[in-house]
Structure 1
Amino acid sequence: MSNVLAIAGVTRILKDMLNDALVFGNVDQVMGTDFAVTAQPPDRIVSDNPDTQTPHLNLFLHRVTPNAALRNADLPTRSGDGALQMRPTLALDLHYILTAVAAEELHAEVLLGYAMQLFHEMPVVPRESIRTSLSAAELAGLGSGLPDFGTGPLSPAELADQIEMLKITPVALSMDDMSKMWTALQASYRTTVAYDVSVVLIERALPVRPTLPVLTRGGLRDPETGRDPGVAAEPHLATSVPSLLSVAAQDQHPVMRLGGRVVLTGTGLDTGDAQVRFREAGTDVSLLLVPEAPARPDRLVVQLPGPAALPGGSSLAGTPQDPASWRVGAYEIEVILTDSEARTAATNRLPLALAPAISATAVAGGLARR
């Protein structure tokens, strides 16, 4: 993360980029005179004698605003007792105006053409360019005006290590905004182009509460080595988490019926001893049934108890094998898997309704249905 020198560092980088573009473009030979690239207020770049004005390209930081997208991204930074948990990050957008002045006709326009072409071709500043421009040797050799923090606790080159890249965006200023700006600068108007640079992230190296250490990974430790099993990795595209994809009655009816079978399809359904849980919708009642063997990783079949009532005194009374334990209506169905280390995993739940059993009985006067 960049430090408090980031704002000055960005101005230095843009200034170096402009100077390099003019040098590599042989602008001094094109115009027949030397040029200068500065980062000063516009009222300080105009010569007292216009006839001896050196061709001048000036970059001026006229405004700094908080970045709207990231200004509160790090909140909250402190715990309830006031302890610092995260370093506060200041996210800024920098607003520049680029001005060209020259004594000769059209020389100012030539400088602006080179500068605008550079910023158009390089809308994102490469990290290597930032490191090169802000290296300690480079700053010492060119007299950048920045303090020599290359070997101290602060270095402007840390700007290259922030998460966000520096992006240069042209901005169209209205005539009203332009006139107000030059009036506030108390300088004669010159042709001006505006650019925004975002985003600059400033963070101070404050001590924060360290995170808790990782004690174990995975499940139970190996009894022989004492090591934890670590993170389970499976080299395939399917999910390693047991999941249900569909639940349907085997006889293709839209609902299940007592005495019928329910087919469950999904993934990872053979990763342990399976039980199928039927939860009554809207209640805490759940019924567990063991699926039929053999189990497949993508398919389970479970048999529902028959519709006939159990004889009196049956040991299955009140269990999921008792038809009286099943209520007509909606159910949520999931699979519970228990592995060899007694760890359990549950799939997602899918809905399926239980239909009432319909039987015919003979009564006086004909057949009746109930």
Structure 2
Amino acid sequence: MSNHLAIATVTAALGQIAQAAAASAVSGVQLRFGRPPATDTATRQVNVFLYHLMPHAGLRNADLAMRGADGALVNRPRAALSLHYLISFYGTDSDLEPDRMAAAVARDLHARPRLTDQVIADAIASNSAILGESDLADSFERVTFTPSADSLDEMSRLWSVMVQTPYALSLRYEASVVLIDALESAGPVLPVLNRGPDDRGPETLAAVGPTIEGLWIGLAATDDGPPRFPSLRAAHPGAKLRFSGSGFGGDSVRLEFRNLRRDIGEDLVPVASGSGELRATLPDGAPDQALWAPGIYGVTAVVTRAGREIRSPAWPMPLAVRVTAIAPQPLASGSGMVTLNFTCRPHVLPEQIAILLLSGQEIPAEDRVAAGPTLAFRVDSDSVADGDLAIVRVDGADSQPFVIDSVTGRLTFDDSQRITVA
């Protein structure tokens, strides 16, 4: 870190860099600090003016909080600042001296933008009477000079602040970051007397925890043999689940299913593990319909090792309703607005958002007062095409209108989920 002489040390170092660079282009260059001179001068001169300083945006809050709940200092306060400099050049315009000096300074600051220990030491040695106690070189953050891309309007506003000061060819640079330590020091750190419960110290895991890396979803009648069916986009009651991943070994393993509506634990979904895979089948019995709710679940694998439970990050699983009946069927053509009743598994809660996707339309479900297996939709019979598949979306999960074809053994669309118009 550095003390209160840090800003002055940066200014002195920048002045030396600018003077040395300008002297390589024009001989006899003088160095001046402070506000640019109020009168034009033909003297070969470089003027370094620190006109603005502000908190550094990236580190202004890096040392919070500095004090504990009892008010005691726990961290030494540190100010992080950015310094803004105006470097002006004076000389004989007819000999292009300001132009030559500006180019040389821009060249050297671009090639070596960072303050080195040697440059800081030279600046302190040249001003030992006032900078002798500077410790800027001890700061772990090195000060870097960055040119400012100013428009003519911005430069005009800067010079207009300096009333009656004639404009001179100038460069603007930002120096950051300058860290200045406060004078206060934190108290000594107390020794550790107890390393956790029973003085056992930190607990470490001998192996990596469980991680779910993929999920395959299949119909209940899906053949498990190769080649495997493509995964469905959403699960449903009775669906087969295959979770691939790593770290499933242990004394026991279970799956937890959680969403905003339901938390399903280990008792409802038995799990079989082996060869880096967890297998489960979602229950589809009559009592299960009220325990589950459609929507997006987060699935977590919980492995028990030596009495300690280790959880994996959650893996998303959409759970959609399975439509088991649609009434009335067929739909009478030209009958106007008709209520279609869909029987679904599992039950849909009254607060859930249910939508019917049919013939390019999104039709909201009628209001419900309690959870149940039936959803009602008001449909214009004239807007429904004969044979269109009906898909029910509940909380973002779409029903899957597929079945296993008894002849081919492959997936096919479920005709019972088509709307017939007669």
What range describes the TM-score normalised by the shorter chain of this pair? 0.5 to 0.7
Residue in structure 2 matching 1:202, options 180, 183, 186? 180
**What CA deviation, in whole Å up to 9, does each residue of 1:248-297 have, x standing for no partner?**
24636653445x6432223322355212334586245534344235x222
Instruction: After TM superposition, list the pairs within 5 Å mapping 1:7-46 onto structure 2.
Output: 7-22=7-22, 25=24, 27-28=26-27, 34-43=28-37
Residue of structure 2 equivalent to 1:338: 304
The amino acid across from 1:84 in the alignment is L
Per-residue deviation, 1:108: 3.2
Q: Give ranges in structure 2 of 5+ residues lacking alignment.
A: 223-230, 326-342, 345-422
**Quick one: which of 261, 272, 282 aligns to 1:282?**
261
If each structure's strand is expressed as a fraction of its own residues, which one has the higher value?
A: 2
Corresponding residue SS for 1:146: helix
Q: How far off its partner does 1:334 sit?
A: 2.8
State the partner residue of 1:267: 246
Are 2:51 and 1:62 equivalent residues in the alignment?
yes
Q: Distance in 2 between matches of 1:7 and 1:101?
A: 25
Cα distance change, pair 264–77 in 1 and its aligned pair in 2 (3 A): same
SS of the equivalent of 2:131 reads coil
Deviation of the 1:215 alpha carbon: 7.0
Asked if 2 retains the 8 angstrom alpha-carbon contact of 1:247 and 1:350, the reply is: no
Structure 1 residues 39 and 171: CA distance shift in structure 2, 3 A: farther
Could you tell me how far apart the structure 2 residues matched to 1:36 and 1:170 are? 24
Residue 272 of structure 2 aligns to a residue in which SS? coil
Contact 1:220 1:228 (C-alpha < 8 Å) held by counterparts: no
Letter in 1 for 2:126: L
Q: Look up the SS of the partner of 1:264 in the other structure.
A: strand
Q: Quick one: which of 101, 125, 135 aligns to 1:111?
A: 101
Q: Which residue of 2 aligns with 1:246?
A: 215
**Residue aligning to 2:130:** 146
In the aligned structure 1, how far is the partner of 2:84 from the partner of 2:194? 48
For 1:41 and 1:357, the matched residues in 2 are separated by 81
> Gaps spanning 5+ residues in structure 1: where?
29-33, 235-239, 308-322, 360-368
Matching of residue 83 in structure 1 with residue 49 in structure 2: no
Aligned mates of 2:289, 2:198 — CA distance in 1: 37
Matching residue of 1:365: none
Could you say which residue in structure 2 is the equivalent of 1:329? Answer: 293
Following TM superposition, by how much is the alpha carbon of 1:338 offset from its aligned partner in structure 2, in angstroms? 0.6
Q: Alpha-carbon deviation of 1:242?
A: 2.2
1:344 Cα offset (Å) = 0.8
Once the two structures are superposed, the pairs formed by residues 180-329 of structure 1 within 5 Å of their partners are 180-183=160-163, 187=165, 189-204=167-182, 206-208=184-186, 210=189, 230=204, 241-243=210-212, 245-246=214-215, 248-249=217-218, 251=222, 254-258=234-238, 261-278=240-257, 282-284=261-263, 286-288=265-267, 289-292=269-272, 295-297=274-276, 299-303=277-281, 307=285, 324=287, 327=290, 329=293
Normalised by the length of structure 2, the TM-score is 0.58
State the identity as a percent: 20
Match of 1:177 among 128, 150, 157: 157
- Kept in 1, the 8 Å contact 2:109–2:145? The answer is no
Residue aligned with 2:271, SS: coil
1:62 aligns to what SS in structure 2?
Answer: strand
